[in-house]
Chains A and B, each alone.
Chain A
Amino acid sequence: MKLDSKIPGGPIQEKWDARKFETKLVNPANKRKYKVLVVGSGLAGASAAASLAELGYQVECFCFQDSPRRAHSIAAQGGINAAKNYRNDGDSVWRLFYDTVKGGDFRAREANVYRLAQLSVNIIDQAVAQGVPFARDYGGLLDNRSFGGAQVSRTFYARGQTGQQLLLGAYAALSRQIGLGAVKMFPRTEMLDVVVVDGHAKGIVVRDLVTGEIRSHAGDAVVLATGGYGNVFYLSTNAKGCNVTATWRAYKRGAGFANPCYTQIHPTCIPVSGDHQSKLTLMSESLRNDGRVWVSKKQGDKRKPADIPDAERDYYLERKYPSFGNLAPRDIASRAAKQVCDEGRGIGDTGLGVYLDFRDSIQRLGKDAIAARYGNLFHMYAKITAEDPYSQPMRIFPAVHYTMGGLWVDYDLMSTIPGLFVLGEANFSDHGANRLGASALMQGLADGYFVIPYTIAGYLAGQKAGAVKPDHPQFGKVAGEVAAMTKRFLSINGKRTVDDFHKALGRIMWGKCGMARNEKGLGEALREIPALREEFWKDVKVLGGDLSLNQSLEKAGRVADFLEFGELLCRDALERRESCGGHFREEWQDDGEARRDDENFCHAAVWEYAGEGKAPVRNVEPLEFENVHLAVRSYK
């Protein structure tokens, strides 16, 4: 597998300008001859579909939800970073770039991160022009707050619903293009395979989730913006529908999958309440601006939090990381929580939790000020737990939240399959081994609004428009394979439900490839997952038919892919013999702090599919750090 990152030459500040200039353009009259298929309608997909349609391309956009507005970007709470320096607190593009590279534990591509920091500024302008109602101060200007891993206030927010407001902005832009006839929208439609013709991605095969019809769509380029794979753990903060299918099927058609082991465990989620739990709910990182994290200094302390005097509390983040305190980055805060729980100091019935306490802020600022900042989050917490966070501390615990790994892309966001572009969480590019808070929204929108509209032209300019039609034999072949798989699920008629298998997979993943990983556990996981997969194909029970709305069937397809993908994730975790960011190998640590091995692992691991039953091939893209020097990441 050839991995050419196609990073432009020149100083890092000028690379993006250089690329924009050297990229070929498609003449406006020709643009309408090209059709681009955009899969996914979250921040990256919706912004890409809208922007490409505005330029004049024919666009078809697909999402499995009933409306493009429901993609899971909508659930992002805290905010979006931008190097505007409106606070005059020393922020700059360079500082955002630096923070993101460091936050990613030096496992991201420098040039991509720099471009992201540059574009961050435009995103805010664009969103405001669309009518996104960001929080404002009394002078009418935009407000900012701080987020983990940064010492400046550069996070723009819309109460605790920033993702919602940004997505609705992108959805509005997309809707406008749909109304104008420039985008054809296919909701309740799931992509089930990529069609590669002569080495180029020229279409997709989808299933209409209402009628069950398997359909082919041909295009001149395919853009995947299908999000992350956090649901391989079963319990995560992702939406129930989030899945790896699109990127996994692309991988099986030849796209390299990079760094699947980089998964982000978010430190502040509501703890699990029982076996019935179907998903985990995040409590925004922004809460750590005013909330203090603590556990008792004593093991097994069953006292009520209010009865534990200050002297017997361990504000462990403030103790361990005095300069960042409660705003330590996510991977570090999560690991610290795990550590105190492992020591037997966790709180609640399960001992798997820590307190996030607003007592001091409420005393300092008043209840109203806290309600104005976090009202909806407190409300949500109270709904779920039936506890009042104004009068007693929140109980929180880490949970799977985001996946930094994804399909490998070059600087132009093109995967190893020419014509197949990958945006947002679905790609691997910008966050390295750990994503800083408020950077996911930034990346999704940067990719969709400002990167793909330029870079796709460079590819399309070399392609003959409409060269492949849906009647090409390759479409028939792929559609046949998809239909056969669908039929196979329905024919097994075993004893266990799809959810049952998914939960079993989640238990393996979380137990052996979760917050801490080791050689032994990963080895076990690599034996257990294939066994589970085999059982799935023997004993799964999927009722109903294929030509109707069948939610069990939808789930079956997604879980089948997770059962394959989970193995790759564990394999990647096993092979990366170092600790970095969200990937913590117990063998490589300094007293609980991750120990990187830059000598041997300063690279992206890119997995190449070798065929059914064959071990995938591990390729590497070496990472070079010319502007931010490799250093031990310290937040002390």
Chain B
Amino acid sequence: MKVTLHIWRQSKKSTKADFAQDGKMVAYELEHVSADMSFLEMLDVLNEQLTKKGEDPVAFDHDCREGVCGSCGVVIDGVPHGPERGTTTCQLHMRSFRDGASIYVEPWRAAAFPVLKDLVVDRSAFDRVVQSGAFVSVNTGAPQDANAIPVPKADADRAFDAATCIGCGACVAACKNASAMLFVGAKVSHFLHLPQGRVEREQRARRLVAAMDAEGFGNCTNQYECEAVCPKEIPVRVIAEMNREFVRSKLVEEPPSTKRVGGDG
């Protein structure tokens, strides 16, 4: 098959939030595309041709190419990861497009994800959110036996559903407000449904939301585009859970005590 690609080309890192001027859409014709190719393999073929012609190949993030590392992801015809539901860009195959299709390929667009080059964006904001509290504060050591705390299967399954998040950022890219609430909600939900995670639930909810806000992500207006494009099909239920946890944490929060605590004991 033959396709026409319109790809965002940008040679340097965006320096300001409004980076519309930093690059432009460039059209490429690509022939002999096999329906069995993955979308990224199709880009590989394009890059081989560009390199041979002496043109700079298109930069895009990718690594595992089996849908789990979360590195890859481009917006294809306005939809992050393209037209197939529950699929990462690396697992999208060209059989999903018709012969002669015109395909628009753009990077994630969000102020919190500045473009580094072409289709490569900086998603370190996600890491910083996780660093603020998406963990259980246990050190490596000798915790109790793994079976000491039974976890109802339904809870474990819910935690798992949220924990499958691959951190690709498609939720942010799809959101008209570039909100990261599906991502952050998934972290809250993962730990909320496990007894190990409940110990720090209030602090976690407060810190994650504060970190998310500080990164400049937008706000959720309940349009649920994030859910539609999430390659792991994480439900918007996790956002509701985060909202609840945050409100709850704010309601139960006490001002810091002025009494002296502890002592030399």
A interface vs B, CB < 8 Å?
47, 50-51, 54, 65-72, 74-75, 84, 86, 122, 124-131, 133-142, 158-159, 161, 164-165, 168, 171-173, 175-176, 178-179, 185, 187, 210, 237, 239-241, 273-274, 276-279, 281-282, 379-380, 383-384, 386, 449-450, 453, 495, 497, 499-500, 541, 543-544, 548-549, 551-552
Residue interface mask B173-187, A partner, CB < 8 A = 1: 000000000000000
- Complex Cα distance, B65 from A196, in Å, reads 36
B136 at the A/B interface (Cβ < 8 Å)? yes
Give min CB distance, B147 to chain A, whole Å.
5
Instruction: List the B residue with the shortest CB-CB distance to A498.
Output: B51
Q: Is the CB of A66 within 8 A of B122?
A: yes
B93 at the A/B interface (Cβ < 8 Å)? yes
Q: Is the CB of B145 within 8 A of A67?
A: no
B interface vs A, CB < 8 Å?
11-13, 34, 36-38, 40-42, 44-45, 48, 51-52, 54-57, 59, 61-71, 84, 86-87, 91, 93, 95, 116-117, 120, 122-124, 126-127, 130-147, 149-153, 156, 159-160, 163-164, 166-167, 190-191, 194, 196-197
Give min CB distance, B190 to chain A, whole Å.
7
Give min CB distance, A246 to chain B, whole Å.
16
In addition to A131-B135, A187-B127, 18 A-B residue pairs with Cβ atoms within 8 Å of each other are A54-B140, A67-B70, A74-B69, A125-B144, A126-B141, A130-B135, A136-B150, A136-B152, A140-B151, A140-B153, A165-B160, A175-B127, A178-B131, A210-B13, A240-B62, A273-B36, A497-B48, A497-B52
Q: Is the CB of A551 within 8 A of B57?
A: yes
Give min CB distance, A266 to chain B, whole Å.
13
Q: Is the CB of A131 within 8 A of B131?
A: no
Given contacts A130-B196, A278-B44, A449-B140, contact A159 B160 (CB under 8 A): yes
Q: Is the CB of B44 within 8 A of A276?
A: yes
**Other-chain residue from A131, A135, A140, A164 in contact with B190 (beta carbon distance below 8 A):** A131
- Complex Cα distance, B68 from A158, in Å, reads 14
Instruction: List 4 A-B pairs, minimum CB-CB distance, nearest first.
Output: A140-B150, A179-B131, A172-B135, A129-B143
Q: Which of B12, B63, B142 has the most CB of A within 10 A?
A: B63
Q: Is the CB of B87 within 8 A of A276?
A: no
Give min CB distance, B201 to chain A, whole Å.
12
- Complex Cα distance, B71 from A126, in Å, reads 27
- Complex Cα distance, B48 from A551, in Å, reads 12
**Other-chain residue from A141, A172, A282 in contact with B150 (beta carbon distance below 8 A):** A141
Q: Is the CB of B135 within 8 A of A210?
A: no
Q: Is the CB of B91 within 8 A of A176?
A: no
Give min CB distance, B222 to chain A, whole Å.
27
Q: Is the CB of A497 within 8 A of B51?
A: yes
Contacts of B51 in A (CB 8 A): 497, 541, 543, 552
**Other-chain residue from A84, A127, A168, A384 in contact with B163 (beta carbon distance below 8 A):** A168
Instruction: List the A residue with the shortest CB-CB distance to B67.
Output: A380
Contacts of A75 in B (CB 8 A): 64, 66, 68-69
Q: Is the CB of B91 within 8 A of A380?
A: yes
**Other-chain residue from A131, A164, A383 in contact with B87 (beta carbon distance below 8 A):** A383
- CB<8 Å pairs between A and B, sample of 21: A66-B122, A67-B126, A69-B130, A70-B69, A75-B68, A75-B69, A125-B146, A126-B141, A128-B143, A129-B136, A131-B194, A136-B152, A140-B150, A140-B156, A141-B147, A164-B164, A175-B127, A278-B40, A383-B91, A548-B11, A549-B120
**Other-chain residue from A50, A127, A164 in contact with B68 (beta carbon distance below 8 A):** A164
**Other-chain residue from B62, B117, B167 in contact with A67 (beta carbon distance below 8 A):** B167
Q: Is the CB of B52 within 8 A of A131?
A: no
Instruction: List the A residue with the shortest CB-CB distance to B129.
Output: A175
Given contacts A125-B143, A136-B156, A176-B137, contact A383 B93 (CB under 8 A): yes
Give min CB distance, A490 to chain B, whole Å.
12
Instruction: List the A residue with the shortest CB-CB distance to B43.
Output: A278
Contacts of A70 in B (CB 8 A): 63-64, 69-71, 167
**Other-chain residue from A74, A126, A187, A379 in contact with B124 (beta carbon distance below 8 A):** A187
Given contacts A161-B164, A239-B69, A383-B87, contact A210 B116 (CB under 8 A): yes
Chain B's interface: helix, strand, loop or mixed, by majority? loop
**Other-chain residue from B38, B45, B131 in contact with A176 (beta carbon distance below 8 A):** B131
Give min CB distance, A405 to chain B, whole Å.
22
Contacts of A138 in B (CB 8 A): 153
Give min CB distance, A174 to chain B, whole Å.
9
Give min CB distance, B146 to chain A, whole Å.
4
Q: Is the CB of A84 within 8 A of B146?
A: yes
- Complex Cα distance, B141 from A127, in Å, reads 11
Contacts of A69 in B (CB 8 A): 70, 127, 130, 167
Q: Is the CB of A139 within 8 A of B150?
A: yes
**Other-chain residue from A124, A134, A210 in contact with B156 (beta carbon distance below 8 A):** A134
Q: Is the CB of B64 within 8 A of A274?
A: no
Contacts of A135 in B (CB 8 A): 156
Instruction: List the B residue with the shortest CB-CB distance to A165.
Output: B163
- Complex Cα distance, B48 from A552, in Å, reads 10
Q: Which of A68, A175, A384 has the most CB of B within 10 A?
A: A175
Q: Is the CB of A274 within 8 A of B34?
A: yes
Q: Is the CB of A175 within 8 A of B71?
A: no
Contacts of B197 in A (CB 8 A): 131
- Complex Cα distance, B64 from A237, in Å, reads 8
- Complex Cα distance, B138 from A126, in Å, reads 9
**Other-chain residue from A65, A136, A282, A386 in contact with B93 (beta carbon distance below 8 A):** A386
Q: Is the CB of A137 within 8 A of B135?
A: no
- Complex Cα distance, B41 from A276, in Å, reads 6
Q: Is the CB of B63 within 8 A of A281?
A: no
Instruction: List the B residue with the shortest CB-CB distance to A211.
Output: B13
Contacts of B142 in A (CB 8 A): 122, 125
Contacts of B70 in A (CB 8 A): 67, 69-70
**Other-chain residue from B37, B127, B141 in contact with A274 (beta carbon distance below 8 A):** B37
Give min CB distance, B157 to chain A, whole Å.
8
Given contacts A276-B41, A541-B51, contact A126 B140 (CB under 8 A): yes
Contacts of A379 in B (CB 8 A): 86
Q: Which of B84, B86, B143 has the most CB of A within 10 A?
A: B143
Contacts of A171 in B (CB 8 A): 130
Contacts of B194 in A (CB 8 A): 131, 133
Given contacts A158-B160, A241-B63, contact A278 B41 (CB under 8 A): yes
Q: Is the CB of B143 within 8 A of A126?
A: yes
Give min CB distance, A559 to chain B, whole Å.
14
- Complex Cα distance, B144 from A549, in Å, reads 46
Q: Is the CB of A274 within 8 A of B124?
A: no
- Complex Cα distance, B191 from A50, in Å, reads 19
**Other-chain residue from B93, B127, B139, B147 in contact with A142 (beta carbon distance below 8 A):** B147
Give min CB distance, B137 to chain A, whole Å.
7
Contacts of A129 in B (CB 8 A): 136, 138, 143-144, 196
Contacts of B152 in A (CB 8 A): 136, 140
Contacts of B87 in A (CB 8 A): 383
Instruction: List the B residue with the shortest CB-CB distance to A132.
Output: B163
Give min CB distance, B76 to chain A, whole Å.
15
Contacts of B12 in A (CB 8 A): 548
Given contacts A450-B140, A549-B117, contact A65 B63 (CB under 8 A): yes
Contacts of B131 in A (CB 8 A): 175-176, 178-179
Given contacts A140-B150, A141-B150, contact A278 B52 (CB under 8 A): no
- Complex Cα distance, B159 from A264, in Å, reads 33
**Other-chain residue from A161, A173, A549 in contact with B135 (beta carbon distance below 8 A):** A173
Q: Which of B13, B146, B160 has the most CB of A within 10 A?
A: B146
Instruction: List the B residue with the shortest CB-CB distance to A54.
Output: B139
